[in-house]
Amino acid sequence: MGTADESLRKTALVTGASGGIGRALALECVRRGLRVVAVGRNSEELASLSSSAGGPQGSIIAVSHDLLAPGSTATLVDFLQRRDITVDLLINCAGRGLLAPFDSVAADAQRDVLRLNFEVPIELTHALLPALKTRRGAVLNIASLVAFLPAPGLSMLAASKTALVSWSVALRRELLGTVSVTAFCPGVTRTAFLQRAGMAHLQLERSFIATSPAVVAAKALDAVGRNKAVAFATPIDRVAALVCKLLPGWASAAAVAHLLGQFKRASSGST
């Protein structure tokens, strides 16, 4: 048990806190006075997060945990119950993408993208909702600008984020007056994501539209504070989403295929 002072502190659970945007969100939460349950697989990165977070002792509770493991949500909820931890803010940030022709990737790996990006947030939210309602808490879903784009070569990433935004907005209406739900849609952000997704050769992180994870984290928490339904990190991202929504799907898909032209060349060269 923590001190009396600690028991008064609000708690955020952040998935994907071992790196990138999730790490930045965990740090920003601590900076704003929250205690953080930091979830990720890489225990070394979680330990490094704990040591660099600052804040009062116990500000970070690191949980090395594979969200794709069978029974993962139940295990995590059991951990919280055993430690008597009640979550005020659930941040679903863990995610992955795969840049590759759809049929070149095993069906299980495609399903894992959908599972991590969409199904795990659903399961965690469902499991934590009773406590979130009692605490009049919040859910922050880290979606993506790609939610507004049918993206050839990234079809599962785009589909999972589209679903995440749609579900967030609908759930927000269902929970009106109890739990606030925000879908935050970053554009290109300088993290390991692009490399992990096989997109390093596109060098998107060098473009003028790329943002730092710290900026994304601060804007995302601001959006929760202002109880926004859907929010963006930069004005450029907001305009890009608007344009994408106005375009017919076939035109957006063609634009993305053009943007990922190097990907097309790379894949045709390899076959």
Ligand X SMILES: NC(=O)c1ccc[n+]([C@@H]2O[C@H](COP(=O)([O-])OP(=O)(O)OC[C@H]3O[C@@H](n4cnc5c(N)ncnc54)[C@H](OP(=O)(O)O)[C@@H]3O)[C@@H](O)[C@H]2O)c1
Taking the complex as a whole, how short is the minimal distance between the CB of residue 185 and ligand X, in angstroms? 7
Report CA-CA distances (Å) from 207 to 175, 187, 254: 38, 11, 21
Cβ neighbours, 10 Å, residue 147: 23
- 212 neighbors 162 (Cβ within 8 angstroms): no
DSSP letter assigned to residue 3: -
Taking the complex as a whole, how short is the minimal distance between the CB of residue 109 and ligand X, in angstroms? 12
Report CA-CA distances (Å) from 150 to 8, 117, 154, 165, 263: 44, 16, 8, 14, 16
Question: Toward ligand X, which CB reaches closer, 94 or 179?
Answer: 94
CA dihedral 184, 100, 265, 244 (to 10 degrees): -30
Question: Toward ligand X, which CB reaches closer, 1 or 198?
Answer: 198
Taking the complex as a whole, how short is the minimal distance between the CB of residue 271 and ligand X, in angstroms? 27
- 3-state percent breakdown (helix, strand, coil) of the chain, nearest 5: 55, 15, 30
Question: Toward ligand X, which CB reaches closer, 2 or 259?
Answer: 259
Interface residues with ligand X (CB under 6 A) are: 16, 18-22, 40-42, 45, 66-68, 93-96, 116-117, 142, 144, 186, 188-189, 191-194, 196
Taking the complex as a whole, how short is the minimal distance between the CB of residue 136 and ligand X, in angstroms? 26
Question: Toward ligand X, which CB reaches closer, 6 or 222?
Answer: 222
Taking the complex as a whole, how short is the minimal distance between the CB of residue 131 and ligand X, in angstroms? 21
Question: Toward ligand X, which CB reaches closer, 171 or 240?
Answer: 240
Strand ranges, E, within 74-179: 89-92, 138-142
Question: Toward ligand X, which CB reaches closer, 132 or 143?
Answer: 143
Taking the complex as a whole, how short is the minimal distance between the CB of residue 235 and ligand X, in angstroms? 16
End-to-end Cα separation, the chain, in angstroms: 58
- 158 neighbors 149 (Cβ within 8 angstroms): yes
Question: Toward ligand X, which CB reaches closer, 19 or 137?
Answer: 19
How far is residue 181's CA from residue 158's CA, in Å, rounded to a whole number? 20
Which token pair is 54?
Answer: 């600052």
Taking the complex as a whole, how short is the minimal distance between the CB of residue 267 and ligand X, in angstroms? 21
Which token pair is 6?
Answer: 């600690």
